[in-house]
């Protein structure tokens, strides 16, 4: 039984040694890593831009709906514009 444990330990050390052998290790592919990182950055920039455009569209529609509601309530164009401006500046 002890012989099996010793054999297992030797085999484990042999495998571990071959994994850690500096001659078998490949240098990291820095250019590949840079390309992957840049691709992820470009995707994140596109996602952020898309989000900002959707948010700007949503805000513009909300401001227009608010302006239209002020007009419908009987305010003049100038009053509706100023009220919309004041309301959206506080957001």
The tens place of each residue's pLDDT in the chain, 91 residues long, gives 466 666 566 566 565 566 555 566 677 788 888 899 999 999 999 999 999 999 999 999 999 999 999 999 999 999 999 999 999 886 5
CA–CA distance, 14 with 9 (Å, rounded to integer)? 9
Output phi, psi for 89, to 5 deg. Answer: -70, -30
CA–CA distance, 54 with 49 (Å, rounded to integer)? 9
Say what the pLDDT of residue 90 is. Answer: 66
Say what the pLDDT of residue 27 is. Answer: 74
Say what the pLDDT of residue 25 is. Answer: 66
CA–CA distance, 24 with 20 (Å, rounded to integer)? 8
Say what the pLDDT of residue 28 is. Answer: 77
Give the N- to C-terminal CA distance of the chain in Å, as an integer.
76
């Amino acid at each position: 039984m002890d012989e099996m444990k010793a054999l297992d330990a030797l085999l484990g050390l042999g495998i571990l040694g071959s994994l850690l052998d500096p001659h078998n290790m490949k240098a990291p592919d820095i250019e590949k890593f840079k390309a992957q990182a840049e691709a992820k950055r470009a995707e994140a920039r596109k996602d952020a831009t898309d989000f900002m455009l959707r948010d700007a569209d949503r805000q513009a529609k909300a401001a227009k709906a608010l302006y239209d509601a002020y007009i419908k309530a009987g305010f003049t164009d100038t009053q509706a514009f100023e009220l919309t401006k004041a309301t959206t500046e506080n957001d």
